[in-house]
């Protein structure tokens, strides 16, 4: 007979999953996840919306980071109980989005403004996604 390892062996696994399921079903969490998905999709298409002419490195960067953020948001929305440990990635992607025009050394005024504003939005949504899992929400077992 094998013994469960990792999180499956945790004595409160059922209560933890119920807590995260309750947290992810709140209106605030659903709104944050939806807006994060939209922010990721916007970041992915922003080079063509704003017109990053001649900025192919920044355009590829925005597309990759935007699609990664959109995939994270889908994970948060569909399985928050299993993906809550990855919420710290979203604010980091927001900070990278803000700094990337200077780090990649490929920028125009419009691309800088686009990345700074979009990065701030992503940073705030990422912090909100992190806060959802940290809120004290009574679980069904605690309500008895």
User: Would you say residue 11 lies in a domain?
Assistant: no
What is the domain range of residue 82?
Answer: 16-134
User: Would you say residue 29 lies in a domain?
Assistant: yes
CB 43 within 8 A of CB 97: yes
| Tens digit of each residue's pLDDT (9 = 90 or more) over 11-41 | 666 666 666 565 656 788 889 999 999 999 9
- Residue bearing tokens 């017109």: 51
Q: Which pLDDT does position 100 carry in this prediction?
A: 95
User: Would you say residue 53 lies in a domain?
Assistant: yes
pTM of the model: 0.78
Give the CA dihedral 120, 122, 123, 124, nearest 10 degrees: 90
Total structural domains in the chain? 1
| Residue 82: count of CB within 10 angstroms of its CB | 13
User: Would you say residue 141 lies in a domain?
Assistant: no
| Tens digit of each residue's pLDDT (9 = 90 or more) over 36-49 | 999 999 999 999 99
User: Would you say residue 143 lies in a domain?
Assistant: no
| Residue 16: count of CB within 10 angstroms of its CB | 15
């Amino acid at each position: 007979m094998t013994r469960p390892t990792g999180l499956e062996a945790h004595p409160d696994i059922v209560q933890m999953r119920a807590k995260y399921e309750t947290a992810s079903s709140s209106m605030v969490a659903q709104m944050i996840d939806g807006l994060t998905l939209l922010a990721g999709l916007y970041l992915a298409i922003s080079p063509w919306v704003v017109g990053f002419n001649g900025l192919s490195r920044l355009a590829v960067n925005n597309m990759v980071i935007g699609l990664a953020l959109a995939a994270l948001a889908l994970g948060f929305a569909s399985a928050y109980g299993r993906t809550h440990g990855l919420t710290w990635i979203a604010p980091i992607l927001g900070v990278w989005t803000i700094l990337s025009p200077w780090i990649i050394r490929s920028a125009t005024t419009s691309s800088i403004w686009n990345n700074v504003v979009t990065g701030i939005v992503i940073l705030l949504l990422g912090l909100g996604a992190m806060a959802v899992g940290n809120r004290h929400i009574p679980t069904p077992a605690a309500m008895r």
